[in-house]
Amino acid sequence: MLKLEKVKKYFGGIKAVDGCSFAIAPKKITALIGPNGSGKTTIFNLISGILKCDSGRIFLGDKNITNLSPHKISNLGLSRVFQQAHLFDNLSIEENMSIAIDNEDMKFVKNLLGLNRISKEKKQKIKEALNKVGLEKSPQHLCGELSYGQKRLVELARAIINPHRLLILDEPVAGVNPKLREKIIKILKDLEKAGETVLLIEHDMNFTFSVANRIVVMDAGQVIAEGTPANIKNNKQVLEAYLGD
């Protein structure tokens, strides 16, 4: 579903991503883990086209998406939740979702014509996506009034509503309370059952080991291990990367 071949990205002397190759299987949840600064978010920025690779290739399905624009890659089926929140606090849940559905050209035209009312059909679509994260009851709620964890749920719903083949989530439960973490595990498991393919970055090992089928471990810009949660838990190189020297 997604394949990286010897992908490289340096920032001056910093080898953020240094020849990474890995592939993720369809209809599974894969976790990308590694210590702070190991290159995980940079990988996401390369996959989504926000950053250009110095070298190497990235495939989404059989399409070579290396260095295409973020807009093109999104249209080819990539949907993303960012490490930092990206919601408009002064808009309602529904309005934030609505913005995700419109593409850039439509947004411009609608604003120009003052046609920003949300259609019935769109409301229904939004409701279905919110249903998947358990937020369907109060679509009119202002995002600014939501808890941090609830905002993450809106962001997840927004990634889901955007037509996609692959969902990439950068630290979906960082800063989220334990109860809501459990809920997000359930939501992701349900998405997997429904046939979604997910790649996520996460530091919380309990979460990662309970949600992922496969784990890719990075350290200093390189993939140092790959396998099932059970393999990874007992991998000496992984333990060393985390415990440091």
Ligand X SMILES: Nc1ncnc2c1ncn2[C@@H]1O[C@H](COP(=O)(O)OP(=O)(O)OP(=O)(O)O)[C@@H](O)[C@H]1O
Nearest distance, CB of residue 40 and Mg ion, angstroms: 5
**What distance in Å separates the CA atoms of residue 23 and residue 192, rounded to the nearest whole number?**
17
- Residue 41 binds Mg ion (CB under 5 A): yes
Q: Are strands 222-227 and 55-60 parallel, antiparallel or unpaired?
A: unpaired
Query: Identity (one letter) of the amino acid at 112?
Result: L
Residue of 85, 56, 105, 73 whose CA lies nearest to 158: 85
Least distance in angstroms from the C-beta of 243 to Mg ion: 20
Q: Of the candidates 96, 92, 89, which has an alpha carbon nearest to the alpha carbon of residue 144?
A: 89
Q: Does 172 bind ligand X (CB under 6 A)?
A: no
Q: Does 98 bind Mg ion (CB under 5 A)?
A: no
Stretch that binds Mg ion, among 4-12, 41-49, 107-115, 172-180 (CB under 5 A): 41-49
Nearer to Mg ion, 17 or 97 (CB): 17
- Give which of ligand X, Mg ion, none residue 11 binds (C-beta under 5 to 8 Å, depending on kind): ligand X
Can you tell me the distance from the alpha carbon of 73 to that of 178, in angstroms, rounded to the nearest whole number?
Answer: 33
Quote the tokens at residue 178: 């334990």
Q: CA 66, 17, 70, 60 torsion: positive or negative?
A: positive
Site string for ligand X, 30-69 (x = CB under 6 A): ----x-xxxxxxx---------------------------
How many positions of this chain bind Mg ion (CB under 5 A)? 2
Nearer to Mg ion, 30 or 98 (CB): 30
Q: What is the rounded CA–CA span in Å between residue 108 and residue 104?
A: 6
Return the residue of 6, 11, 231, 237 that touches ligand X, per CB under 6 A. 11
Q: What residues make contact with ligand X under the rule CB under 6 A?
A: 11, 14, 16, 34, 36-42
